Amino acid sequence: MSGPGYPSPHQPPYPMPQPGGQSMPPYPVGGYGDPGYVAPPAGFQVGYQPVPDQPVMYQPGPVSPALHQGQPYGAPVAAPVSVPAGVPPGLEYLTQIDQILIHQKVELLEAIIGFETNNQYEIKNSLGQKIFSAKEKNDCCTRNCCGALRSFDMKIKDNADREVIRLIRPFRCVSCWCPCCLQEMEVQAPPGTTIGYVKQDWNPCYPRFSIQGPNKETMMKLEGPCLACNCCGDVNFELKGKDGSGKPIGRISKQWSGLLKEVFTDTDNFGIQFPLDMDVKMKAVLLGTCFLIDFMFFEKVGDTNQRNTVFS
């Protein structure tokens, strides 16, 4: 008796005889499938196709996911996805994109009675696929007493629930009347390893920020409008070189969500654009900058209105 999956010693040799005395090879000549199956054209390859609104469950590594998803036998093998050296673990996907969308989730308790809860966000790519999630870590007293100026730690996790970025914001002022105690945030990736800072620069009219490296060296500048109020339109913060001059190389936008959402809820939508070849660590710092901007200018706590300028 032969083992499972092995031919019997009494099985006739190939080619297999068929009724009528004819014989045929063991595999269909045209390939598997329905009768009349036509082979794909030369160069055809079944690869990874992103599906909108589905979470991204992989990080690029030495082998591309396309090699494991429906490749026909004999098809050309795709080249491995290369990841630059020095990329923090869990941030490999950021090397392949030049745009991030951020959607703030609103808890039911906060939406009904205005009770401030920990902010939560979904971070997506341009196709609407979820790539990360972010959640503020704070206590009830700090949230409701210190309002939008509150200090916090924010954990950013991938879809496998692994923490890949940690944001640390101390309690500081935001008004131009307090130039020695302006906003800043530390960005760590992985947690415990500082990769950069965001620091508010003093200016009497415009919200300006320095995007800094791990040694607090300025890498880029970010500048917003004098009136950070998205009345029926987006609010854009332009990203420029380290001297703040020249053409913008990127942007952080507070996107208009519609009249009802803007007036009656604290939900916010943001978009971040940056060069595809930007250092992935700086992309992570820009992600943290977006959250800092949200708290500074677009966070509403209870009956307190959001801040629109650096004067307030």
Nearest Cα to Cα of residue 287 among 156, 177, 171, 148: 156
Tokens representing 179 are: 């130039």
The better pLDDT of the pair 227, 112 is held by: 227
**Is residue 224 predicted with pLDDT exceeding 80?**
yes
- Residue 56 — very low, low, confident or very high, per pLDDT cuts 50/70/90? confident
Determine the pLDDT at residue 75: 42
The CA distance from 69 to 67, in Å, is: 6
Nearest Cα to Cα of residue 289 among 158, 201, 178, 230: 201
For tokens 């997506």, the residue is 124
Q: Which residues pair with 135 in a beta bridge?
A: 120, 155
The better pLDDT of the pair 192, 13 is held by: 192
CB of 131 within 8 A of CB of 50?
no
Residue 104 burial (CB < 10 Å; 0-12/13-18/19+)?
A: buried
The CA distance from 224 to 201, in Å, is: 12
For tokens 């965001």, the residue is 198
Determine the pLDDT at residue 69: 46
The CA distance from 64 to 243, in Å, is: 39
How do residues 21-30 score in pLDDT, each as one tens digit? Answer: 554 444 444 4
How do residues 88-110 score in pLDDT, each as one tens digit? Answer: 999 999 999 999 999 988 765 55
Determine the pLDDT at residue 308: 55
